[in-house]
Amino acid sequence: METKKKMSPQERERILNIVRKSAERYRETNRILDAILPDIIDDNSSKNTIL
Amino acid sequence: MQYYDYDLVNDEVTSYFFKTSHNIFYVIEFKPTGYIFGDEYVWSQNCFEFSIKLSEKSPQNSPPDSLISPTISEIFQHFCQDKEKVILYMCDTSDRRHLARFRKFDRWFKQINIRKTFIKIDRTFFDEKYNITYYNSLIIKDNNFYQDEIIEAFDELISGIEEEK
């Protein structure tokens, strides 16, 4: 049976840095979605639970 | 469904452009991001980060416009006509409203996925250094040949980040 590769600390840090930078890049996308999708966030928002 | 006409520039980054009736210019970009998974996967070249931007000269605040959301949905569908595409999405965490955003994106995705042709995998992980939970989504077509391998790689990526705690 194949065993799962363990991520090295360097690889983990590399991925984390990509994710952190990516989160910054998503700031504008999220802000625009906040603005153009108000109908969705107001619609039954209290009934839904994610995760 | 009505939506704005759009133009497409297919370069290293695939960019779609449309102008609203209020003269606001939007740019929808799909930027290659396969490097996050590495070259070992043949499908990594089909991974893209999905982003929405306003052009520099556009007003930063748009009046309510019911055609913007369906236009973005149409563009998303157009880009993903190729069943091998893998789309990554993340919620901005800078103002701590990411959970609300994640819910909103989830509901928007359900609207564009009315025919159930996409699969969205949601995963979170906690960044101890900045005390932030990141909300990540991976979207693939339900007939993607590498579907199982992609989901497994995404899970391994997230669990690999988590396991060093």
**pLDDT for the residue numbered B137:** 92
Q: What is the model's pTM?
A: 0.83
Quote the CA–CA distance of B73 and B58 in Å, as a whole number. Answer: 21
Mutate to test the interface with B, among A4, A13, A32 (most CBs of B within 10 A): A32
Inter-chain contact A40–B111, Cβ cutoff 8 Å? yes
Tell me how close the Cα of A2 comes to any Cα of chain B, in angstroms. 13
User: Is residue A50 over pLDDT 50?
Assistant: no
**Residue A14: band (very low, low, confident or very high) from pLDDT cuts 50, 70, 90:** confident
Q: Minimal CA–CA distance to B154: which of B110, B130, B120?
A: B120
| Minimal CA separation from B97 to chain A, in Å | 10
Among the partner-chain residues B36, B92, B102, the one whose CB lies closest to the CB of A18 is: B36
The residues pairing with B124 across neighbouring beta strands, listed in sequence order, are B135
Residue B141 bridge partners (DSSP): B118
C-alpha dist (Å) from residue A49 to A45, B100, B124:
8, 10, 14
Task: Choose among A7, A33, A50: nearest Cβ to B52.
Answer: A33
User: How distant is the Cα of B3 from the closest Cα of chain A, in angstroms?
Assistant: 14
Whether residues A18 and B99 touch (CB distance < 8 A) is answered with: no
Contact B100 A41 (CB under 8 A): yes
Q: Return the number of other C-beta atoms located less than 10 Å from residue A8's C-beta.
A: 11
Mean pLDDT, 10 residues at a time, chain B of 165 residues: 93 94 92 87 93 82 82 92 91 73 83 86 88 89 94 91 69
Neighbouring C-beta atoms of residue B49, cutoff 10 Å: 19
How far is it, in rounded angstroms, from Cα A31 to Cα A35? Answer: 6
Range list of H helices, A1-51: 9-36, 38-41
Q: Would you say the ipTM is above 0.95?
A: no
User: Roughly what angle, to the nearest 10 degrees, separates helices B98-112 and B68-79?
Assistant: 70
Burial class (CB in 10 A: 0-12, 13-18, 19+), B93: buried
Q: Which residues of A touch B37 (CB under 8 A)?
A: none
Which residue type is seen at B99?
L
Rounded to the nearest 5°, which phi and psi values hold at B125?
Answer: -150, 160
Of A19, A30, A50, the CB nearest to B103: A50
**How far is the C-alpha of B155 from the C-alpha of B138, rounded, in Å?**
10
The pLDDT confidence band at residue A1, using thresholds 50, 70 and 90, is very low
How many beta-carbon pairs under 8 angstroms link A with B? 112
